[in-house]
């Protein structure tokens, strides 16, 4: 009887090994595939928070990101960039958004943040002078103040004489 029970236990052990071993290998393989990482190098300054969205919908958030970020392979879009100087960019994955491809052996570069460039375009519409102000990051992303309670103001001079002044409207 002891031998018979021993044979059954051995048989059960053999079955467990035969059934679980292939699953362990496939789980290890799936784990390796999930962990395939690539590098994203940030070029720019003052980035406090960065939000990227992968094309499969997964979102990656980074608080005070380092110059080099490790990411799972895939294509990403810049969704948000927050600067420590009070400006924010909400970009999204629209038609102007160029995807960033992260691959295991090919480091990618993302230009985001400062130095910032101020632009002002003016045009005339009848008797109205339209001023279009933009704050542009190193990667051509558009920034706005995070705190919109105090919009930028302007003053127009003719020589030394002030002839108009006002505040820009957001949007």
Q: Residue 143: its pLDDT value, please?
A: 93
* β-pair type (37-43, 108-111): parallel
Query: Partners of 61 in the beta sheet?
Result: 51
- CA 10 to chain centroid, in Å, comes to 54
* Percent of residues, the chain, with pLDDT higher than 90: 50
Residue 29 has pLDDT above 50, yes or no: no
pTM higher than 0.85 for the full model? no
Residue 12 has pLDDT above 50, yes or no: yes
User: 148 exposed, middle or buried (CB, 10 Å; 0-12, 13-18, 19+)?
Assistant: exposed
Residue 22 has pLDDT above 70, yes or no: no
Sorted by where each begins, the domain ranges of the chain are 1-35, 37-111, 117-167
Q: Kindly report, residue by residue over 156-170, the tens digit of the pLDDT.
A: 899 999 998 888 777
Q: Kindly report, residue by residue over 94-148, the tens digit of the pLDDT.
A: 666 789 999 998 999 999 999 999 998 999 999 988 888 899 999 999 998 888 8
The least confident of 8-17, 23-32, 40-49, 154-163 is: 23-32
Q: Residue 94: its pLDDT value, please?
A: 61
């Amino acid at each position: 009887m002891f031998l018979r029970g021993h044979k059954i236990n051995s048989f059960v052990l053999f079955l467990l090994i035969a059934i679980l071993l292939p699953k362990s290998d496939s789980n290890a393989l799936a784990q390796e595939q999930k962990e395939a990482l690539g590098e994203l190098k940030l070029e720019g300054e003052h980035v406090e928070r960065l939000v990227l969205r992968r094309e499969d919908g997964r979102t990656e958030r980074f608080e005070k990101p380092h110059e080099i970020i490790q990411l799972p392979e895939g294509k990403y879009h810049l969704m948000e960039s927050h600067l420590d100087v009070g400006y924010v960019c909400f970009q999204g994955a629209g038609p102007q958004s160029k995807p960033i491809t992260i691959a295991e052996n090919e480091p990618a570069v993302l230009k985001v943040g400062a130095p910032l460039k101020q632009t002002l375009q003016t045009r005339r519409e009848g008797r109205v002078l339209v001023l279009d102000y933009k704050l542009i990051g190193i990667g051509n992303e558009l920034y706005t103040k995070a705190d919109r309670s105090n919009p930028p103001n302007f003053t127009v001079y003719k020589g030394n004489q002030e002839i108009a002044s006002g505040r820009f409207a957001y949007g």
